[in-house]
Amino acid sequence: MSENMQSAAAAEAPLTPVVIERTYDAAVEDLWALWATKAGFESWWGPEGFRVEVHAMEAVPGGALHYDMIADSPEAIVAMRNMGQPLSHNTHGRFDEFRPHSRLTLKHVIDFIAGVDPYESLIEVDFEPLGDRARMVVTIHPHRDAHWTRMATEGFRSQLTKLDRRFGFA
């Protein structure tokens, strides 16, 4: 198979969800609050070098989640400029499934990719108490292509380092 045919096959290959697991020295309720409260979400969401400002958070099934993702470190600002991306992006999504301290799903509208019609991406989060610790399993569903799935996964792994520092990653 030629290199071009291999690239085309890889681009068309079905993508699989990415599962990321963490066990933290924290109560499930504390982890839950990071996903379901404005202050909690703003305290960690976004890759290193970025922060968010939440404008609307309705932590109920079907509830809105609207925030700005803002590059706020010199490195992130340079990187965004080099990619031709704005330094701030208004993000819209909603809570789909919402079972307090157990499971939630977020659907984000991906509307910032030039030449691509907006679409939704899904993140599932399951929480499990383990005595004085808590396990969090995050499933990132694939985007429409491997590049944006990889970017979403790398960004999420980066933002998890904020929780790793806060709670200790076991």
Q: Hey, where are the domains in the chain?
A: 15-167
The CATH code of the domain at 15-167 is 3.30.530.20
Q: Find the helix or strand (DSSP H, E) in which 164 lies.
A: helix 146-167
Lowest mean pLDDT of 11-20, 70-79, 145-154, name the range.
Answer: 11-20
Banded pLDDT at 13 (limits 50, 70, 90) = very low
Given a cut of 90, whether residue 72 has pLDDT beyond it is yes
State which amino acid sits at residue 18.
V
Within 13 Å and on the Cβ side, how many CA atoms surround 68? 8
pLDDT at position 170? 60
Q: Which residue has the higher pLDDT, 113 or 9?
A: 113
Find the mean pLDDT for residues 51-70.
Answer: 97
φ, ψ at 11 (rounded to 5°): -65, -30
If you average pLDDT over every residue of the chain, what do you get?
90
